[in-house]
Structure 1
Amino acid sequence: MSTLILALAAGAVIGLALGALGGGGSVLAVPAMIYLLGFTPVAATTASLVIVAVTSVTAMCAHARDGNVRWRTGLLFAAAGIGPAMLGGALAGRVPPAVLTAAFSVVAAVAALRMLRSRPPADTPAPVRPGRAAAAGAGLGAVTGVLGVGGGFLAVPALVSVLGLRMRNAVGTSLLVITVNSLAALTMRAGTADGLDWAVLGPFAGAAILGAWDGKRLAAKVSGHTLQWIFGLVLLAVAAVMLIDAAM
C-alpha cells in the first residue's frame, strides 16, 4: 500500500476521533506516523501537532455552533498550559526516542483507565472552579510539549471527571484546549519541522479535516456514556501496543 493511501486513511481515522471524541487524534497520529509512515519519534510528535492543530480548529467551529464549547473553562485550561507546553516543547528534542514512546504509552493508559472508571456526569453542568481548571491545564500543557500530543485525550477525562462537564461539552471544550496547546508547543519545535515530508502531511491533514466533520455528526447520534467508553478502549489498546514496542 502506497504511503499516500496510508496517510489518507490514517488522517481520516484521526479526524473522526477528534470530531467525535474531542481528543485521541494525536494519540493515534503519533503511532500512525511511526509505524505506518516511517517517521522518527521526534518527527512524528512534531508532525502530529501540526495535523491536530489544524484539524482541531475545524472540529471546534462545528461544536461551537451547537453550543458545546465551554469557553471560560477552555480558556482557563489553555492559558495555564501555554508556558508548560512551550517549556516541554523545548525539552522534547533531548529525550531519547524509546523514553518518549514509553512515556506516551503510560500517559495514554492512565487516561484510558480513568475514563473507563469515571461515572457519567450529572445533567446539570458543574460550575467552573478556576483553581482546578488552571492546575489541570498546566499539567496538560506540559504533556503536550514533551510528547507532541494536543492534550485532548487527557483534557476530556479531566473535564468530565475533575470539573464535571457533560461529555458533549467536554468534547467541544477540549478542542479549544488542543488548538492552543498545540500551537504553543509548535513554537518551540520549529527546529524539528525542517525534515518533515510535507507531501505526506498535506494529504494527511486534509483527510483529517474531512474526517472531523463526520466525527461531529457521529457524536450527535451516540450517547455521551458510549462515547466515553469508546474513547477509553481505543486509548487503552494504543497504549498497550506502544508499551510493548518500547519494551522490545
Structure 2
Amino acid sequence: MFAGIIGFGLLVGAVLGLVGAGGAIIAVPALVYVLGVPVSEAISTSLVMAASSSVAAVVPRLRGGVDWRIAAAVGTAGIPAAFVGTAVNQLLPQHVVLLAFALLMIAAGIQMLRPRPQGPQLPERRPRWVLHAVLVGVGAGFLTGLLGVGGGFVIVPALVLLLGLPIGAAIGTALLITIVNSTAGFLAHASSGSVDWAITLTFAIPAFIASLVAARFATRITGRALQRMFAALVLVVAAITIARTVLAC
C-alpha cells in the first residue's frame, strides 16, 4: 500500500510542479478508490500535499514571479472561507462529497482544455482589484476546505481575467495562495482528528520532491500539450469516480 502512496505522491507532485495547478485534484480519488483511504483522511492528506508541493513549485518563481499584494489579499480572504468549507464538508455524506469532487474535476478538465488567456505583459492594477481579490479568495478557500483541493486551476484564470496578471505571475501567485489556503484547510480538518500521519507523510514527501524537480523543468516543456494530457486524465478519473460512487449508493 505504501509503495502505491509514494507512486501517487510522485505523480501529483510532478503535475503540480509542471502545470502550477491541478495536482491535488487527482489525489483524493486516487487515495479513496485506488488505495482505500477514507474520504476524510484523503482530504487531509491532499491538503498537506498541496501545501508542501506548492512550496516546492513556487521556489523557482519567487524572483519576479509572484504578486505579493494580490497573494496577501486573496490568501487572507481564503483562510476563513477554508474553515467554512470544512464545516460544510463535515455535514455532508461521503457520496455527496465525492460526487461534488467529480463535478469539480470535470470543470477543471474543461478549463485545462481551453487556451489560457495570456493577459497583459506587465501586471495591471485594475479598479476594485481588492474586491476582486477577496471574491477569488473566498471562492478558492471554500473549495479548499470543502473538497481538499488547493484551487489553483480556479485561481490562475481568475488572477488573469479579474486582476490582470500575466500568466507567469498568475501561476506563481496562485501557488503562494494555495499554500495559505491548504494550510488553513488542513488545520480545520485536523481539529476533527481526521489525519493519518503515516499516510500523509508518505504521500506528501514524495510529492514535495517531485514538485520541486518538475518546477525546474516547467519552462522547458510545451505547456499546451501537458495541459491536454492532464485534462484527459482528470476527465477519466472524474468518470470513474462518478460511476463507482453511484454504484456504491
Give the TM-score, by structure 1 length. Answer: 0.88
Q: Which residue does the alignment assign to 1:100?
A: 97
**Does the 8 A contact of 1:22 with 1:170 survive in 2?**
no
Equivalent residues, number: 244
CA shift at 1:195, angstroms?
5.3
Residue 202 to residue 132, structure 1, CA distance change in 2 (3 Å): same
Distance in structure 2 (CA, Å) of the matches to 1:50 and 1:122:
31
Moved over 6 A (4+): none
Paired with 2:13 and 2:32, the residues of 1 have a C-alpha distance of: 18
CA distance in 1, matches of 2:229, 2:118: 16
Q: What amino acid does structure 1 have at the position aligned with 2:11?
A: V
Name 2:214's counterpart in structure 1: 215
Shift of 1:121: 1.2
Tell me which residue corresponds to 1:112: 109
Gap change, CA 1:5 and 1:220, over 3 Å in 2:
same
Give the fraction of aligned pairs with identical amino acids, expressed as a percent: 36
1:141 matched to 2:141: yes
Q: Which aligned pairs between 1:83-232 and structure 2 lie closer than 5 A?
A: 83-122=80-119, 124-128=121-125, 129-194=129-194, 196=196, 198-232=197-231
Question: CA 1:126 to 1:241, structure 2 compared with 1: closer, same or farther past 3 Å?
Answer: farther
CA RMSD of aligned residues (A): 2.2
- Deviation string 1:175-231 (CA, Å, 9 cap, x unpaired) is 1111110111122212444551x3332222111111012220231112444454444
Q: Is the counterpart of residue 45 in structure 1 residue 43 in structure 2?
A: yes
Closer, same or farther: CA 111–50 of 1 in aligned 2, 3 Å:
same
In 2: Cα distance, 1:223 partner to 1:167 partner: 14
| SS of structure 2 residue aligned to 1:156 | helix
The one-letter code of the counterpart of 1:15 is G
Shift of 1:81: 1.2
Contact 1:7 1:201 in 2 (8 A): no
Write the letter of the residue equivalent to 2:142: A
Structure 2, unpaired ranges of 5+: none
Change (3 A) 1:9 1:188: same
Paired position in structure 2 for 1:236: 235
- Flag structure 1 segments of 5+ consecutive residues without an equivalent: none
AA of the residue aligned to 1:189: H
Assess if the C-alpha contact under 8 Å between 1:58 and 1:212 holds in 2. Answer: yes
Counterpart residue type for residue 72 of structure 2: L
1:168, 1:224 within 8 Å by CA — same for their partners in 2? Answer: no
User: Separation in 2 of the partners of 1:175 and 1:162?
Assistant: 17
Aligned-partner Cα distance in 1 for 2:123–2:230: 22
Kindly indicate whether the alpha-carbon contact (under 8 Å) linking 2:119 and 2:167 is maintained by their aligned counterparts in 1: no
8 Å contact from structure 1 (residues 111, 157) kept in 2:
no
